Amino acid sequence: MILRRLSVVLLFFLLLAPPMHSDAMSIYQVASKMLYGRRYAALSSVAKYFSCRWNASKSVLRLVAQNGRTIAAFSPDKRTAVINGLPVVLNFAPGWQNGAGYISWSDFTGTLLPLLNRSSLKKHSPLRIIIDPGHGGSDPGASGRLGREKALTLLLAKELRAELSGRTVKIDGESVKFQIFMTRTGDATLSLENRASYCNRLRGQLFVSLHADSASSGISGIGTFSLTPPGAPSYNTGKVEGGTSVGHSWCNNSLFLASCIQKSLALKVRETPNRGLKRARFSVLRNVNCPAVLIETGFISNRTEERNLNSPAYRRKMASAIADGIVAYFNQVNTK
Count of other CB atoms within 10 angstroms of residue 50: 18
Under the binding rule (CB under 5 A), the answer on residue 141 touching Zn ion is yes
Stretch that binds Zn ion, among 35-43, 111-119, 194-202, 203-211 (CB under 5 A): 203-211
* Contact between residue 91 and residue 111 where contact means Cβ atoms under 8 Å apart: yes
Element (H, E) at 255: helix 251-268
Count of other CB atoms within 10 angstroms of residue 107: 27
Stretch that binds Zn ion, among 20-28, 51-59, 112-120, 208-216 (CB under 5 A): 208-216
Nearer Cβ to Zn ion (134/223): 134
Q: In what order do the strands lie in the sheet with 21-22?
A: 21-22, 31-35, 38-42, 100-104, 95-97
Residue of 304, 302, 286, 303 whose CA lies nearest to 294: 286
> How many residues lie near Zn ion (CB under 5 A)?
3
Under the binding rule (CB under 5 A), the answer on residue 291 touching Zn ion is no
Chain positions 237 to 256 lying near Zn ion, rule: CB under 5 A, are none
Under the binding rule (CB under 5 A), the answer on residue 211 touching Zn ion is yes
**Residue from the set 87, 134, 233, 247 that interacts with Zn ion by CB under 5 A:** 134
**CB burial class (10 A; 0-12, 13-18, 19+) of residue 224?**
buried
Under the binding rule (CB under 5 A), the answer on residue 184 touching Zn ion is no
**Residue with nearest beta carbon to Zn ion:** 211
Half-sphere exposure of 247 (CA within 13 A, CB side): 28
Q: How far is the CB of 285 from Zn ion (least distance, A)?
A: 13
Stretch that binds Zn ion, among 130-138, 230-238, 273-281, 316-324 (CB under 5 A): 130-138
* Contact between residue 140 and residue 217 where contact means Cβ atoms under 8 Å apart: no
Nearer Cβ to Zn ion (101/134): 134
Under the binding rule (CB under 5 A), the answer on residue 148 touching Zn ion is no
Stretch that binds Zn ion, among 50-58, 80-88, 127-135, 256-264 (CB under 5 A): 127-135
Query: What residues line the site for Zn ion (CB under 5 A)?
Result: 134, 141, 211
